[in-house]
Amino acid sequence: MIDLHSHTFFSDGMLVASELARRAEAKGLTALGMTDHGDLSNIDFIVPRLVEVARRLNDVMKLHLIPGIELTHVHPAHISEAAEMARSLGARIVIVHGETVVEPVASGTNRAAIEAGVDVLAHPGCITLEEAKLAAEKGVLLEITARGGHSLTNGHVAKMAIEAGADLVINTDSHAPGDLIDEAFARIVVTGAGLSVSCFETMQANARRFID
């Protein structure tokens, strides 16, 4: 299983990168995105460190690490700039913390992220059909999440994506060891969002684009 969205203690995760990687590998994952929370104040701290961790561990582990960032509560006007900065520092995946219904994310974040052409819009809450259509046009993946709270709108996100023809991905947004899931549980999350079993395979194919 490929999971593109997780956090180390470089932001609010509980584990150092090496332990998170080992626990993910033991859970049966084949690839993991390390995407700590960042904004314009700390992107230059987080990304180079995750790039270096990935470089070292990818030489010795079966698990493939993908270094990146989750732009979090970044003002919509600054998302494009922040995404460009992260990529210039070596981020292989740029995620934006979408308009989840359980946090006061600024209105307009979903659209700004999609317009900036980020890789994944995480837990996009009550995303509109217009935004989902734009995501399809821009090739931005919409996230179905296993994380509590954020997952409340999975069904809505799935419905908008299907209607708009947007691509989806299944992620955990792991912050702690207990957040990591295996493939069997991931399939349950996907079907629980109202999607067919075959959608899991399509989501995994969507995630493979970030593996070298």
pLDDT tens, the chain, 212 aa long: 999 999 999 999 999 999 999 999 999 999 999 999 999 999 999 999 999 999 999 999 999 999 999 999 999 999 999 999 999 999 999 999 999 999 999 999 999 999 999 999 999 999 999 999 999 999 999 999 999 999 999 999 999 999 999 999 999 999 999 999 999 999 999 999 999 999 999 999 999 999 96
Alpha helices in 1-74 (DSSP H): 17-26, 43-57
Say which CATH superfamily domain 2-193 falls into.
Answer: Metal-dependent hydrolases (3.20.20.140)
* Domain extents in the chain: 2-193
Calculate ∠ Cα 210-66-3, nearest 5°.
Answer: 75
